[in-house]
Structure 1
Amino acid sequence: MPAPMQISLEEIISMLLQRVEALSASDENSKTKQNIIYRVLYKKGLLTDADILDSVKEEYRMLKELGAIQDEPSEEMYKTITDGILQWIKGDVEGIKKSMAEYEQKLREFAREEAAKKPKIEVAGANVLNQLDAAANKGGKLII
Structure 2
Amino acid sequence: MTLATKLRGSKAVYAGAGAVDLAVEKLREVPVHVTKLQGTAKENASRLQETAKENATRLQQNAKELQDKVDTKDLPGAAVAYMTHLGTRVAEVIDELAARGKTVVNRVEAVVPEISEPKPTPRAKAATAKKTAQTAAKKAGS
Q: Same fold (TM over 0.5)?
A: no
Under a length normalisation based on structure 1, what TM-score does the superposition of the two structures give? 0.31
Higher relative contact order, structure no. (Cα contacts within 8 Å, ≥ 6 residues apart): 2
